[in-house]
Amino acid sequence: MIVKTSEEVQNQIIHLIKDFIKKDVNPIATIYEKDNIYPHELIPTMQELGLFGITIPEKYGGMGLDFTTFAKIFEEISKGWMSLSGIIGTHHILSHIISTYGTDEQKNRVLPKMATGEIRGGLALTESEAGSDSQNITTTAIKDGEEYIINGRKMYITNGEHGNAFALVAKTDTDISPRHKGISCFIFEKPSDGFKVGQHLDKLGYRGLDTCELVFDNCRIPADSLIGGVEGKGFGQVMNGLETGRINVAARAVGVAQAALDSALSYSQRRETFGKPIAQHQAIQLKLADMATKVHAARLMVYDAADKKDSGLRNDLEASMAKLFASEICGEVTMEAMRVHGGAGYIKDLPIERYYRDAPLMIIGEGTNEIMKLIIARRLLEKNKLQE
């Protein structure tokens, strides 16, 4: 169970984030997003703000904050520029996996450097033929004395170029059934012989952040890189980590949706048609009311999932619901906000079209929404199983 952050401390943190977004992020976001430029100069400030150690325990140099505060931070960053949240998104999946399952040596060696941002993490899970079906990965890790030999390719990896440590998911047993029992998770650190960053992917949205292919060709890593020191535990470790990822993706969706709503509210009060601001037309008012209600509902669902995670209880049901609902709402709200803006919303001079392009990431990222529905249904049936 995680100790809840006091409201006073939480408000102070969010105030600092808002100030950072206003002063440092907003002036460059549109240009950097358009030209797909990685924001290197923002990293030192993010380090100073403690953003690389949000949930890392204080004993390892992190802030040790609860997941509700974690969600609020991701929401606030995403209001300014959603891509920026990606720098610390999968970073925190790796830190959570190590904090929860790592050996004492792994925690003491890696977490302090992750908390400061010296180590910037990612998740090397997805492959070209193994996205939603994580058990279908083909990357292998074969034990050879005091090392593992890694072979395979990972695709769509956030922070692939600029990250330097990854939760690497590979099969240590390719014959075992069920398949997930043969999956292990490693701490992979750059540089390493036999490893290279492959193609860089050009994305619709989520620009300014590197998304790459990772190539492992007889890459040798130390045996003590195996998280927890026991093979075959990787699938459960990563699924637990993805619960935190789904909270952060849902929070991002709320942030982008709120930014779109804020833009629609502002524009509708300035733009006039038929002699009055369009905000005074009932058709626009109905849109604004629907948008605001959906964003508010999504936010409450995210906070509920975060609170469940803080309690130490299983929260895959709540996290999946929050991710599903918030991301779908984000898609709807960004579209409606563009309609409120009319033609102006379709032009790159305003950020509305960026919000619209960023929205699909939350729908397909951290597990597609179709997978979220399957998880939700299975958990509901488990909890409501008929008694014989």
The model's pLDDT over 21-57, given as tens digits with 9 standing for 90+, comes to 999 999 999 999 999 999 999 999 999 999 999 999 9
- Write out the E strands in 230-331: 272-273, 276-277
Domain 121-233 has CATH 2.40.50.100: no
Superfamily of 7-116 according to CATH: Acyl-CoA dehydrogenase/oxidase, N-terminal domain (1.10.540.10)
Which long-range CB contacts under 8 A does 36-41 form with residues at least 24 apart? 36/202, 36/207, 36/208, 37/208, 38/161, 38/162, 38/208, 38/209, 38/210, 39/84, 39/208
How far from the centroid of its chain's Cα atoms is residue 355's Cα? 16
Tell me, what's the pLDDT at 360?
Answer: 98
Domain definitions of the chain by residue range: 7-116, 121-233, 236-383
The runs of H, that is alpha helices, within 102-233 are 104-116
The amino acid sitting at 222 is P
Which active-site residues does the annotation give? 366
Burial 121-148 (b: 16+ CB within 10 A, else e): bbbbbbbeebbeebeebebbbeeeeebb
At 133 the pLDDT is 84
Other beta carbons within 10 angstroms of residue 276's beta carbon come to 9
Residue 78: which of 70, 69, 67, 86 has the closest Cα? 86
38 DSSP β-pair partners: none
Neighbouring C-beta atoms of residue 283, cutoff 10 Å: 9
pLDDT, position 303 = 97
* Digitized pLDDT (tens) for each residue of the chain, 388 residues in all: 788 888 899 999 999 999 999 999 999 999 999 999 999 999 999 999 999 999 999 999 999 999 999 999 999 999 999 999 999 999 999 999 999 999 999 999 999 999 999 999 999 999 998 888 888 999 999 999 999 999 999 999 999 999 999 999 999 999 999 999 999 999 999 999 999 999 999 999 999 999 999 999 999 999 999 999 999 999 999 999 999 999 999 999 999 999 999 999 999 999 999 999 999 999 999 999 999 999 999 999 999 999 999 998 889 999 999 999 999 999 999 999 999 999 999 999 999 999 999 999 999 999 999 999 999 999 999 999 998 7
SS3 185: strand
Closest CA to 198 of 149, 163, 169, 155: 155
- CATH pick for 236-383 out of 3.90.1150.10, 3.60.15.10, 3.40.50.300, 1.20.140.10: 1.20.140.10
Q: Which pLDDT tens digit goes with each residue over 261-310?
A: 999 999 999 999 999 999 999 999 999 999 999 999 999 999 999 999 99
**What are the beta bridge partners of residue 197?**
214
